[in-house]
Structure 1
C-alpha cells in the first residue's frame, strides 16, 4: 500500500512540474509585457514558476519516503505545506498592490478593504493548513486510519478551500473594477491572465469542497479518500494546464508591425487579424492620424484599405 501511495505522490510531483513549466511558458509569452512592469512583478511571476518546479524535488523525496519509509522526511512534508500555503497571502497582497497601483483602479476604498479581508481569511486558511499538516503527518500515516490524522487533513483541505476561494474572488473583483481604458499592449495580456487564474482556481474550489464533503460523509474511509483526493487533483490540474498551454501557444503575441506614418503597432494578446485591425483603427483615430475627414468614410470609421494604399504609394515613390 505504501508503494501505491508513493506512486500517486510521484504522479502529483509530475503534475507540479507541469504546473511550473506552464508558468514559465506563460512568462515567456508575456516577456515584453513583464519587462515593462516593476521589478517585483517580474520577481513574483518568475519566482512562482521556479518555486513550482523546485517543489518537484520535495515531492520526489516524499514519494520515496512513502515507498521506503523514513521519519526524517516528516520535516520536508511540513516545510513544503507551510511554505506553499503561506506564500499565497503574500502573492495575493502583491497582486492586489499591483492592481491598485499599476492599473489605477477608480474605486479607492473597496479594493484595499477587500484585499485586507482576503488576507485575513487566507492567513486563517494558511494557519489551518499548517496546523493540519502538523497533526496529519504523512499520507502513510493517513492510510493507517488515525482519527487525529483525518482531523488534521480536514483542516488542511479547509485551509486550501479558503485560500482558493479568496483568490478566485480577488481575481473577479479586481478585474471588474479595472478601468475601461488600459494600455493596448497590456489589455489582452491581463485578460488572458484573468482567464488562466479563473481556470485554475474554480476547479480548486470545487475539488476542495468535494474533499470536505468526502471527509464528512466517509470519515472512516481513509485510503479511498486519499486516492480520490490525489488522483482527482492530479488529473484535473494536468488537464487544466494542458488546455491553458494550448491556448497560450495558439494566442502567442506576433511580431510588431510598422504601418502608416511609421507607427509601430503591437497586437494584443490573443488577437485575431480582424480584432488587430479594429484595435489599430482605434489607435490611429485616437492619435488623430486618421478620422472621418481623412478616411472619407461617412460612418466615421477609418478605411484601412486606404491606409495601406497610401503606404504602398509612399514606398514606391521612395
Structure 2
C-alpha cells in the first residue's frame, strides 16, 4: 500500500510498503526533528461546465445558469455547474456540503475527489499547499457512495473481512487483517452486530444505520486520510443518521479529513459538523462554521429566529431567493464580502 510522506525538502511523496495498515501520517523532515504535518485540503476557484444540446434537460435549478453559444456548434450551450467554489477541509474536522437537490453538492464532491475529467474542471485542489495529484489521491482517499451494495447473507464481520482480503496487501498476514477488521468494528460501533447477517427484504438483518456504517467500513478498510461521502444519512431515521455522523466525527478525530454532502442535518448532527458550505445553482452562498450562521444571516438582514434550526432556516431562505426574480445573486455577493472581512479579522 502506498504511504504519502513529505520528503526532506517538504514535498509530498508516496512511499510503498507492506506493513500493517496504520493511519497514514504526512511528515516533514528537517535535519533535526520529524513531526506530523496537520493536513489541510484546500480548493480554489473550482469551476465546472458542460456542453449541452437543447434536447438535454437539466434540473430546474440549473436552467437559470450562465449560458454561452458554442462557436463550433450553434445549437450547443455551455452550462456552468460549479462557479468559483473555494474553501478548505482540515484534519480532525468534518466539512459538510449543503444545498437543495440540484445545487451542485455531488458535483463539488466529485470535483474534490478527482471524479471529473481534468479538461473540463478549472481551479486548484491542494494538500498542504501542494497540488494533489491523481496517483496520491487514489492512495490516500476513499469515496463512499449513497447506495449500500452488500452481500445479504454475510455477517458484518465476514463482510469487512472480505473487504480486507481484497483491499489490504496480499503479503499482510490473515491475523493482522483480522486485527484491522476488529479495530474497524470497534471504531464503527458495530460490536453488537458483528455476528449478524446484513440481510435484505426477505431476510432480517442489521438496521439501516448499521448497514450504512458497514458500507463506510468497506471503503475505509485501508485507513484513508481523506474520506468523501455522498449523503451518508440519506434514507435513515434521525437516530440512525446521528449515529452515522457521530462515527464520522470519530474517524475525523483519529486524524482524517472527512468531506460529506448532506441535504438537511438535524440540530444534533449540526453540532457534530465543523465547517459548512451552502451551494445554490453551483455557487457558494455561505461558507463557514455552524456557529457563524447566526451572525452571517443577521448581517444579511435575515436574522435566524431563536430556537429555530439554523440550517433549515438557511435552506428555506435560499429556496425563497432562488424562486424570486432576483435569484440568489445578492446572497452570493454578500458571502464574498463577508468572507473577505473574516480573513481580515
- TM range, smaller chain: under 0.3
**TM-score, length basis structure 2:** 0.24
Greater fraction helix: 1
**Greater strand content:** 2
- Is the radius of gyration larger for structure 1 or structure 2? 1
